[in-house]
Amino acid sequence: MKSAEQFQHKKILILGLAKSGEAAARLLLRLGAHIVVNDAKPYDENEQAQQLEKEGVPVVCGGHPLSLVDEGFDLIVKNPGIPYTNPIILAAQEKEIEVVTEIELAYLLSEAEIIAISGSNGKTTTTTLVYEMLHGGARTPLIAGNIGTVACEVAEQANADDVLVLEVSSFQLQGTTSFKPKVSVLLNLFDAHLDYHGTKEAYVQAKAKITANQTEEDLFVYNADDPLVAAVAATSAARLLPFSLKRELPEGVSCQDQVISYRGEPIIHTDEIVLPGAHNIENILAAIGAALSMGAVREQIVKVLTSFSGVAHRLEFVREVNGRRFYNDSKATNILASQKALEAFEQPIILLAGGLDRGNEFDELVPSLKNVRTLITFGETKHKLAKAAKAAGIETILFAEWVEDAVKKAYQQSAENDVILLSPACASWDQYKTFEERGSRFAEAVMALNG
């Protein structure tokens, strides 16, 4: 672990707990920092805060009192979910107190070089692919970040013989100042999280921080088919490695005539790839570029692509019941993700969708509903999705209370050879704590069907 002494005796506010806040608090305690924890959840309901207090950490629960900013903090480590409109953040910025997320700590402490992967969609799949592709190479891959394991926890244990593969979100990236991955990957950019960032421009700026501090000693792997991503690449000081589905790239990664090539050398024919969905070819191109640049063995890349069938809750096959195939795509928390899922199938689809209302309409989803013959919708957005379904000419539109109810109705409406697809196009937080919980509930309901 490098630069650990920089936090010794520093006064640091941990703003927001959850997994990342608790991990950052415990790490900074071990490094000799003086920390205070502030979390909005009331103390009586806050087991994390109670435990930290037992260990001697001052905790402030039940809100975010502005008076905290006047207590002389050197640094604030912010939970990614807390928006920058929070009064404490605004007051801290006025006082020029640095505000970061825990991936900044991970970068400052990690002896391992970092591959950071971001984009509006495909982050988890690409991160997992890169991690798997790096096995058997010269260095040991470690995986962390937005994918589940807190980055600073893994970074603390990493050494120079490791490679730290991080999935990073716009929320996390916005809270960075010196974050500088050896390899950064930007998959795509479109309207997402505007309720958090305020504008598309602010969202793109947050994503662009993945390469903002890179130099010519680093590499930026980017989607040359996405104009917004290409614009970010034009501002990067890193060496550039483009990938494209639309054209051959002799100095990049591309797919022509169903053959994926890296710098002009064939890697694999797409018929050999088991991961479903045309959109995943883009993720594969990016993963190959990142993995090979960090010393992956080509035989391992082929092995991964001929065996890896996907990550949990991302177009995950659950079960076949009387000729109906059920897929869990609960991680599709925005429109583009659901578009990609819908385009992965040629069979008739019964779509289960709905969730948190972030203020957007679903007009962009309409062209992708051509194979959908029944929509079963739930959550805050159910009426908006029903409106989009009507615009697409879908005649059967049903409402459900929960995703479990939607599974039963979907099976009742289905016929042999149908695909029954959970791809919500929305976040889960109106009804479920996480998209994982929503997907697990879906899978449990599918397994409970009497086929």
DSSP code of 186? E
Using only C-alpha atoms, the chain has a radius of gyration, in whole angstroms, of 23
151: tokens are 């980055």
372: tokens are 């959908």
Calpha distance 335→424 (Å, rounded): 8
DSSP code of 198? S
Do the annotations mark residue 122 as ligand-binding? Answer: yes
Calpha distance 17→24 (Å, rounded): 9
Closest of 88, 46, 90, 55 to residue 69, by C-alpha = 88
| Angle of the 279-293 helix axis to the 123-133 helix axis, nearest 10 | 40
First to last CA, the chain: 53
Q: Which helix (H) or strand (E) holds 104?
A: helix 102-109
Q: Is 96 exposed, middle or buried (0-12, 13-18, 19+ CB in 10 A)?
A: exposed
Do the annotations mark residue 125 as ligand-binding? Answer: yes
Do the annotations mark residue 119 as ligand-binding? Answer: yes
Calpha distance 149→167 (Å, rounded): 10
Calpha distance 149→152 (Å, rounded): 9
Q: Which helix (H) or strand (E) holds 332?
A: none
Do the annotations mark residue 252 as ligand-binding? Answer: no
CA 401, 402, 404, 406: dihedral to nearest 10 degrees?
60
Do the annotations mark residue 123 as ligand-binding? Answer: yes
Calpha distance 418→280 (Å, rounded): 22
Annotated binding site for ATP: 119-125
Annotated binding site: 119-125
